[in-house]
Amino acid sequence: MGCCCGCKLCCCVLLVAAVFIAASLGLFSAFFPYPSHASCRVNWVFGKSCTTVKTKLIEQMKAWEHDDCSTKQQCGYEYLGEDGNVIRGLHRTPLLKFEDKLNFTMNANGGNCHVTAVSVSGLSYAVIDFGTNYCNLRNLVIGSGLDENDRYYKENSTNSVCTMYSIAHCNLYT
Ligand SMILES: *[C@@H]1O[C@H](CO)[C@@H](O)[C@H](O)[C@H]1NC(C)=O
Ligand SMILES: *[C@@H]1O[C@H](CO)[C@@H](O)[C@H](O)[C@H]1NC(C)=O
């Protein structure tokens, strides 16, 4: 007894340590705005029925199921099935062969279809993904043409729920 808070120097050291820890946490979130595990959640709105959206996304996953990633095409997807309004799949990153899990949940809203899509890196320690989880999802939407001629088409996400969202470049054909 007696030392810690009885001693001004100790209190001072504790205070400095507390301020330092708080500042590091603040700096950490300021410079690291992404989820703590590489992943991405995106919301889309389509001016189409959810049946159409679901069919197109499944067809696209199947069309890109082949393993040959040497051609300039998306590849490495695997359609895992549907469960009510949810479809599930996998994407294996061409160069690195990491396996990311993804799903799309569809909800009809008037004549539109609201979709919440999630992709999570299969690599337990992954934090940075160079936008891979986002592109896993977006490439299926763009590749299937779901964004075309659709005046209700809308996409939203943010860095805090989608790793590297604001700087990701999804190059479909490179
Ligand atoms: C979609 O995948 C995420 C991450 O694996 C999971 O947390 C979520 O429950 C899944 N959603 C559905 C509707 O299965
Ligand atoms: C998109 O915007 C809606 C409405 O503001 C919000 O509820 C939703 O969480 C957003 N989605 C993402 C992935 O940030």
- CB contact set of 37 (below 8 Å; sequence gap of 6+): 120, 121, 124, 126, 127
Residue 1 lies in a domain: no
Residue 145 lies in a domain: yes
Residue 12 lies in a domain: yes
- My answer on whether 96 and 156 are in the same domain is yes
Per-residue pLDDT reduced to its tens digit, 91-101: 987 666 678 99
Region 146-153 average pLDDT: 97
Per-residue pLDDT reduced to its tens digit, 4-24: 445 666 555 666 666 666 566
Has residue 125 got a pLDDT over 60? yes
- My answer on whether 98 and 73 are in the same domain is yes
Residue 2 lies in a domain: no
- My answer on whether 65 and 121 are in the same domain is yes
Predicted local distance difference test score (pLDDT) of residue 119: 96
- My answer on whether 107 and 136 are in the same domain is yes
Q: How many separate domains does the chain show?
A: 2
Has residue 1 got a pLDDT over 50? no
Task: Measure the CA–CA gap between 172 and 24, rounded to whole angstroms.
Answer: 38
User: What is the domain extent for residue 20?
Assistant: 7-34
- My answer on whether 97 and 72 are in the same domain is yes
Has residue 156 got a pLDDT over 80? yes
pTM above threshold 0.85: no
Give the whole-number percent of the chain exceeding pLDDT 90: 53
Task: Measure the CA–CA gap between 75 and 79, rounded to whole angstroms.
Answer: 12
Residue 109 lies in a domain: yes
Between 34 and 41, name the one with better pLDDT. 41
Pocket of ligand 2 contains residue 160 by CB under 6 Å: no
Three-state DSSP string of the chain? CCCHHHCHHHHHHHHHHHHHHHHHHHHHHHHCCCCCCCEEEEEEEECCCHHHHHHHHHHHHHHCCCCCCCCCCCCCEEEEEEECCEEEEEEECCCCCCEEEEEEEEEEECCEEEEEEEEEECCCCCCCCCCHHHHHHHHHHHHCCCCCCCCCCEEECCCCCECCHHHCCCCCCC
- My answer on whether 117 and 75 are in the same domain is yes
C-alpha 35 – ligand 1 centre gap (Å): 15
156, 160, 166: residue to mutate for ligand 2 pocket, most atoms within 8 A of CB:
156
Has residue 89 got a pLDDT over 80? yes
Per-residue pLDDT reduced to its tens digit, 35-76: 878 899 999 999 999 999 999 999 999 999 976 666 555 788
